[in-house]
Amino acid sequence: MDIRRSPDSQVLAANAAAYIAERINDSVAASGFCRLALAGGKTPEATYVRLREMKINWQQVEVWFGDERCLPVGDPERNDTMARQALLDHVPIPKDQIHPIPAELGALEAAGIYSKLLNHKPPLDLILLGLGEDGHTASIFPGQEIIEASSAAVAIFDAPKPPPERVSLSLTYIRDAGERIILAAGSGKQDALRRIQTGERLPAAIVGKAIWFVDEAAISN
């Protein structure tokens, strides 16, 4: 595993933001564009705040989401609400280059709409992901039969992490991306990280090759 360790969550955010900015710029330099999926949850917030200050040509960036909770638009618990407050409302990215998951329509309808949108485009260049305490990533939880779904986005109805209804990029689609970056901070992630390091095939372990940015608190002694 390619694990990049930081002493604490703030240094992790700075290191991850610097690397993400570099990869966005590499993608823009190579193909004129970067198609990026953002992670949800709380961990990425500090990284997103740091990304505001990075030298990125946001006009050439398209933003998608790794997963979304089925809550009303603007709900503070939605992943796109956090991403807008931490980053997207602070950078000059054209509004039509931000593609929220329409999870307010319900998981089934939203997954169908998002899959259609994604299927008409090349794979994403870069996907940011988090790590759940049970080893989930995006909204792919351990033991879920949809884990090998072929569509780009999948509907989740029984997520153990509330809310139960969500939409997630599928494992297949995440694996097809150019690169994956997983952010994990805090002692709550120790168990999941150790299980993954010792070979347990938890969802975050089987997304394909990934670069892990972790802080010391997430590393078990």
Residues engaged in binding ligand 6PG (CB under 6 A): 39-43, 67, 69, 79, 130-132, 136-139, 161
Question: Please, which residue, 56 or 101, has the CB nearer to ligand 6PG?
Answer: 101
| Between 24 and 82, CB nearer to ligand 6PG | 82
Q: In angstroms, give the least distance from the CB of 69 to ligand 6PG.
A: 6
Q: How many CB atoms within 10 Å of residue 134? A: 16
Closest separation in Å from C-beta 32 to ligand 6PG: 29
Q: In the complex with ligand 6PG, which residue's Cβ is closer, 13 or 93?
A: 13
Q: How far is the CB of 79 from ligand 6PG (least distance, A)?
A: 5
Closer residue to ligand 6PG, CB minimum distance, 25 or 84: 84
- If the CB atoms of residues 79 and 81 are measured against ligand 6PG, the closer one turns out to be 79
Chain residue whose CB lies nearest ligand 6PG: 130
Integer Cα distance of 119 and 110 in angstroms: 14
Please state the closest distance from residue 80 (CB atom) to ligand 6PG, in A.
Answer: 10
Shortest Cβ distance from residue 28 to ligand 6PG (Å)? 26
